[in-house]
A = this chain, B = another copy of it.
């Protein structure tokens, strides 16, 4: 396995668990939202980089920063034009690029497919499932009520979709963004893992 596997997923679809099982099967590191966010906060990279960036951020600047392209030609740089969300996204993007450079791994969430899209050996998976399946899973896994599970699905799908559409500028549910799109409710988690392994041929 020489690939960085990125996993995007609907809330409650089991994407995180599928990612963990793939990482175990290939004996490679696993990174989820929480790990990426914590690493970005702890890196100290944020302040250092933000202090040098442009006063008025444009989309192309944001893109350049996310891609790790050096844009610091101007002495007047500062980060006043970027929202906190954008700053966090950039710090997370940096962490994602760093762990991807270290070698094969599984990364769940945080638009990792987009952040790494210019690199080789990136494999992008999307996991989806019926609302019924996701309700049931959320109730069992997170110990929440049926009402709460329904609300979480709506809220999280919306949030993830907005997050992706905002940062990537393409629709989250457009299949051409991914190499493999798997529905977890029909096959079950383990067959999804086998399906991805069969695709990768190893």
Which residues of A come within 8 Å of B, CB atoms?
123, 126, 128, 173-176, 178-183, 186-187, 191-192, 194-201
Contact = CB atoms under 8 A, between A and B. Distances in A.
- How many copies of this chain does one complex carry? 2
Contacts of A181: 126, 175, 178, 180-181
B187 A194 contact: no
30 contacts: A123-B186, A126-B175, A126-B181, A128-B175, A173-B175, A174-B174, A175-B175, A175-B181, A178-B183, A179-B186, A180-B181, A180-B182, A180-B183, A180-B195, A181-B181, A182-B199, A186-B199, A187-B199, A187-B200, A187-B201, A191-B198, A191-B199, A191-B201, A194-B198, A194-B199, A194-B201, A195-B198, A195-B199, A197-B198, A198-B198
A200 B186 CA distance: 8
A81 B174 CA distance: 34
Contacts of A201: 187, 191, 194
Nearest to A199: B195
Contacts of A199: 182, 186-187, 191-192, 194-195
Which 3 pairs, one residue from A and one from B, show the smallest C-beta to C-beta distance?
Answer: A181-B181, A198-B198, A175-B175
